[in-house]
Structure 1
Amino acid sequence: MKNVSVSVVIICKNSAQTIGKAVKSCQPLTDDIIVVDSGSTDGTLNIVRSHNAVLIETPWLGYGDTKNLGNKQAKYDWILSLDSDEYIDNTLIESLKQTDLSDPTVIYTIKRISYLGDKAVKHGEWGRGVIRRVFNSRKACWDNSPVHEEIRCEGETREIQLKGAIHHFTSPDIHTYRSKLDRYARLSAEKYAGKKKPSHLFKRFFSPVFNFVQNYIFRAGFLDGKTGLDIARAHAWYTRRKYELLRSYNSGN
């Protein structure tokens, strides 16, 4: 079957271990794969060029604005947005090939399967992953939130879930993941501080406990064994860290 009128936009920095697989997975889908790089020094650029993707080099603009820069250079209005540590499977490719992309008000959602090392995590926080990733750039773009950016839409839209999945190699191990969460905690705290959000004692002490119980018990993280426990603990730590940093920022420290 011929390629689909969808442009793939991938943002990256120092992603030599994963960017090749990300780009290669999209080649059966489209002839327009755009990689937006923000200062890689590890061989990422050579890998992108070797896969004949369109390469855009830019200083880091923030998650949303960096993605939007790639969208503006896209050949097609329809965008599939990926991170450099993700790849798409054949079922998703076939689903997109069979999808009628005539309605620009539709946002397509996709199941995301996340991995810690080589283990797929099916429960807890990571097991909930259905994400909005295919949209028409004439109707939608990414917001400029410093973390956990979202698609911002013009007018009314509706969502349709595609078959298949995006596979996300989140981190090689729990220690690397905690380092990533620390960065996200800082960005989230800065975001909340900018909005004058308070850090109440209740939030600092009880939100982490609730987060752990929610992910490990109610969302069945325990079914993923030690990996599920490690992830639930990491997210509880992230929640507390976020509110501790917010308290520090609000006090001017």
Structure 2
Amino acid sequence: MTPITGIVITLNEQDRIGECIDSLRQVCDEVIVVDSLSQDSTVRVAESRGATVLHQAYLGDGPQKAFGVPSASNDWILALDADERLDEDAIRCIRELSLEDPSVAYSFRRRNFCGKHWIKAAGFYPDRVVRLYNRTTSGYLPKKAHSSVQAPRTEHTNAHIRHFTYDSLSHWIQRIDQLSTRDAWAMKERGVGPSPMRPALHALSATLRKLVLKGGILQGSDGFTVALTTAFHAYMKYAKLNELHEQAPPTEHDGS
């Protein structure tokens, strides 16, 4: 089997990182954890599982996921988030791949969970994500939010990654608060300006996309849950962007 390096980024993931590393060990001969200065036992747990830990203050999604790549011993990289696990079919699939063509990256179907409940509605499944790629031709885009792997060619597998996205509905709301703050910061860094109408417009667009285009209106309570939480996330990230601009110190251009 072609050697693969597993890479995970973490921030206060002591309850998740151990199982993530164990999952990667099924197909990787090396695991690197890029830790964003966690305050809990993430680093200790990762090292106890045999991972190499690199310490780096958070750079944004894409740059952080790319940070550990130069330290990898292998060209083939398998990137997981700390709350993701390889399903048995993904382990079998990766073991059977020849990995002869470095220009090909591989995507997997992601199963998203809220607690023990698998959510399939409104685009939450199959939720394809590229996770296996060769660093000589491919890599994460330098986007500070919602980055993805750019590769010359992508091959879609039917294998699965389990994504333990939220512990509960309450945790779902907490994550929206955290992620919308991160997204607002990333947008401001990119130079996106404030807008009084943008929060509502994006929330409305998200609702229509999930309920109508993704079929959530026909998928029961899960469909409405996905639509409403997506709309809430969209509204809050643009509202927080407006807040960041309001809190920014005035410049000479503002006449101050």
Per the TM superposition, whether the score is higher than 0.5 is: yes
Relative to structure 1, the CA distance from residue 19 to residue 195 in structure 2 (aligned partners, 3 Å threshold; closer, same or farther) is: closer
| Equivalent residue for 2:47, pick from 49, 55, 79 | 49
| Equivalent residue for 2:216, pick from 221, 231, 240 | 221
Distance in 1 between residues matched to 2:157 and 2:177, nearest whole Å: 32
Distance in 1 between residues matched to 2:208 and 2:92, nearest whole Å: 38
- C-alpha offsets along residues 115-139 of structure 1, whole Å, 9 cap, x if unaligned? 1111111121422510111111111
8 A Cα contact 2:63 2:144, kept in partner = no
- Find the residue that maps to 2:108 and give its secondary structure: strand
User: How much has 1:95 moved relative to structure 2?
Assistant: 1.1
Q: Could you say which residue in structure 2 is the equivalent of 1:123?
A: 121
Runs of 5+ unmatched residues, structure 1: none
- Find the residue that maps to 2:125 and give its secondary structure: helix
Identity between Structure 1 and Structure 2 (%)? 24
- C-alpha offsets along residues 169-195 of structure 1, whole Å, 9 cap, x if unaligned? 111122222222223223333333344
Runs of 5+ unmatched residues, structure 2: 249-256
Relative to structure 1, the CA distance from residue 174 to residue 231 in structure 2 (aligned partners, 3 Å threshold; closer, same or farther) is: farther
Q: Could you say which residue in structure 1 is the equivalent of 2:156?
A: 161
Are 2:187 and 1:192 equivalent residues in the alignment? yes
User: How much has 1:249 moved relative to structure 2?
Assistant: 4.1
Tell me the C-alpha RMSD between the 2 structures: 2.3
Q: Could you say which residue in structure 2 is the equivalent of 1:180?
A: 175
Q: Could you say which residue in structure 1 is the equivalent of 2:251?
A: none
8 A Cα contact 1:4 1:30, kept in partner = no
- Find the residue that maps to 1:112 and give its secondary structure: strand
Distance in 2 between residues matched to 1:186 and 1:144, nearest whole Å: 19
Between the two proteins, the alignment pairs up a number of residues equal to: 248
Distance in 1 between residues matched to 2:190 and 2:115, nearest whole Å: 36
Query: Higher mean Cα deviation, 96-105 or 51-60?
Result: 51-60
Matches within 5 A, 1:69-218: 69-153=67-151, 157-198=152-193, 203-218=198-213
Distance in 2 between residues matched to 1:162 and 1:207, nearest whole Å: 32
Relative to structure 1, the CA distance from residue 194 to residue 29 in structure 2 (aligned partners, 3 Å threshold; closer, same or farther) is: closer
Q: Which amino acid aligns with 1:161?
A: H
TM-score, normalised to structure 2, is: 0.86
Distance in 2 between residues matched to 1:198 and 1:243, nearest whole Å: 10
Distance in 2 between residues matched to 1:35 and 1:193, nearest whole Å: 28
